[in-house]
A and B are shown apart, each in its own frame.
Chain A
Amino acid sequence: MITAPQLEIAVLLLGMAILMFEAFATRVDKRVLAFAAIVGLALILIASFFVSPTPSPDRATGLWNFYTADKLSVFFKQFALLTTIFVLIMMIDYAPVVRASFPGTTDGLGEFFSVPIFTCVGLMYLVSAVDFIFIFVSLELVTVSFYVLVSFTRKNPVTLEAGVKYLVLSALSTAFLVYGIAWIFGATGQTNLQRITEALANPNTDHSAALLGVVLVLVALGFKIAAVPFQIWVPDVYQGAPTPVTAYLSVGSKAAGFVVLLRVLRPFVTLPQMQRLLVLIALLTLIYGNLAALPQGNLKRLLAYSSIAHSGYLLIGVVCLDGNAVVFYLAAYFLMTLLSFAVLVIVAQQTGEQISDFDGLAKRSPFLAFAMLIGMVSLAGVPFTAGFLGKFFIFYAAILQRQIALVVIGVITVGCGFYYYLKVVRAMYWQPANKAEDIPISGLSRLAISALIAATIWLGVYPQPILNMLKR
């Protein structure tokens, strides 16, 4: 029988093996490493379906003080593994750009393919963490490996600038996280979330100190999930980072941030101020993300603002404490975002990242244009796509909780979203092409994109499997 901690150990060993192989195998085509990583992660993904969820007992000892293997965490371990596999597929397509930034050598590609595996370990630990110490360490494993990935093509000044901005603002959020944890420890004397809940139920606990602590922690998590007013880094870093890394940031890092947010907030919802604060953050995030996306001409930057907007919808689910709606939305968001980025990686190498570079894509590559179309309409929330049902469940949860302001602003901003997502569709289908030649796609990418298209539509028409998985 496989237990959950073995999954992380397996991924860690895979990462180390690939890094070692990279160091000694100088003559091998480095893309072999990526294929090895994809196969290894896929095997671990299959193994993860044989893990039976075992939440930690109430009076846990040893590892189970820090670690839980409940069904939410097992689901998100699979989520992290799948994200990493798709990101590695995009990285293979992106390899020529990385190689061009290290002229004359093949250096760099091996690390480019192996660092994401360590990020994956961090994400997998993070979704299982139920103790602030463990949350901090695994969050830092994710963040530190992202420092490397974001500034990877360091000969490109724009990437380097994105790396510096990500470094400074992430480190700042880490400082807030640590200081917040210190105050929560000061108020409750505990770092385990379960015991913090018990301590907060005790009337002798200093609730104002705990509130200060949790607000500081919220600032730090706000950075990770790109909630207003902590979203400043998002557009610049998303635009400057290598495109597969941007996809990884916007899917993996954000999903893990939301899982941690759901876990961390649970002990503190009894504090009355928390709900009002979260409603305010959600409203600001919705409005800012959608309005700022309107004038964008660069598709990567557009997707950055769209990722802020989607954080707003996810925050509505968090305010209503509807874990299932949040998880379903994250699954939908995973499919449509990776789909858009997978097309962007391929097209951007031929033409560019501007929306005008997508002009006439339908003539040059009907397959890619169709994939982008599905991605965009799903992000906008057109019925029969995963994005629509995701928004539906979120708004349904908000209506049940009588959060009228959130629903009204949410629906208005969805309308706003239609404008900028369909701008891309218009460029692809109604504008004349700048160039005539076809765009080549590798077999692996074609397979990955087809799978994502199928899953996006399937989840929009028949969401029952995922819903059953969450209810179980």
Chain B
Amino acid sequence: MVTLGDYLIVSGILFAIGFAGVMLRRNLIVILMSLELMLNAANLSLVAFSRFRLQPSGLPDYNAQIFVFFIITVAAAEVALGLAILVALFRARQTTDVKDITQLRF
């Protein structure tokens, strides 16, 4: 039997992998993918919380599942814009490496 704790551990691991990816990787496309992973970790825990919090009627609490749809939609919009900015960056600099975009500094 898979418990709520198992889902939460998996989602915690996903969130940690995503966060590590954002912090450690140098390629902007990989960073965007890691950001998506973090959002999906949140989606997984929302769905798990929803599934394991049964209403008196025996149905799951659907509020959280509706929220997941909102997150998926917003994430899609974010990625669309993010990739557009990356394309513009690649045209201007021929790079997607964060090491090369350091003109603004203290």
Contact = CB atoms under 8 A, between A and B. Distances in A.
A174 B35 CA distance: 9
A160 B92 contact: yes
Contacts of A171: 32, 35, 78, 82
Chain A interface, DSSP helix/strand/loop, else mixed: helix
Contacts of A136: 67, 70-71, 74
B82 A185 contact: no
Interface stretch (A8-16, A162-170, A463-471): A162-170
A148 B31 contact: no
B103 to A, nearest CB: 6
A175 B39 contact: yes
B61 A189 contact: yes
A108 B32 CA distance: 26
B77 A144 contact: yes
B74 A164 contact: no
Contacts of A172: 19, 22, 35, 38
Contacts of B11: 182
A78 interface: no
Given A164-B28, A185-B64, A239 B104 contact: yes
A164 B101 CA distance: 9
Contacts of A191: 63-64, 67
A143 to B, nearest CB: 8
Nearest to B102: A161
A137 interface: yes
B70 to A, nearest CB: 6
Contacts of B93: 157, 160
Q: Which of A155, A158, A186 has the most CB of B within 10 A?
A: A186
B46 A185 contact: yes
Given A160-B89, A174-B39, A179 B15 contact: yes
Interface in A11-30: none
Nearest to B31: A168
A132 B64 CA distance: 11
Interface string B31-48: 110010011011101100
A132 B106 CA distance: 36
A197 B96 CA distance: 45
Interface in B45-85: 45-46, 49-50, 53, 61, 63-64, 66-67, 70-71, 74, 77-78, 81-82, 85
A235 B93 CA distance: 22
Interface in A229-288: 235-236, 239-240
Interface in B1-29: 8, 11, 15, 18-19, 22, 28
Nearest to A154: B88
A168 B88 CA distance: 15
B104 A162 contact: yes
Contact of A147 (B70, B71, B85): B85
B104 A151 contact: no
A368 B39 CA distance: 47
Given A167-B81, A189-B53, A161 B101 contact: yes
A144 B77 CA distance: 8
A61 B5 CA distance: 33
B18 A175 contact: yes
Given A175-B18, A235-B106, A160 B46 contact: no
Contacts of A321: none
Contacts of A133: 63, 66-67, 70
B49 A155 contact: no
Contacts of B8: 186
Contact of B85 (A137, A160, A178, A236): A160
Contacts of A236: 104-105
Given A161-B103, A179-B45, 7 more contacts: A157-B103, A163-B88, A164-B86, A175-B35, A175-B39, A178-B42, A178-B43
24 contacts: A144-B77, A147-B78, A147-B85, A154-B85, A154-B92, A158-B104, A160-B89, A160-B92, A161-B102, A161-B103, A161-B104, A162-B104, A164-B86, A164-B89, A168-B28, A178-B43, A178-B71, A179-B15, A179-B38, A179-B42, A181-B42, A181-B67, A186-B45, A236-B105
Interface of A: 132-133, 136-137, 140, 144, 147-148, 151, 154-155, 157-158, 160-165, 167-168, 171-172, 174-176, 178-179, 181-183, 185-186, 189-191, 235-236, 239-240
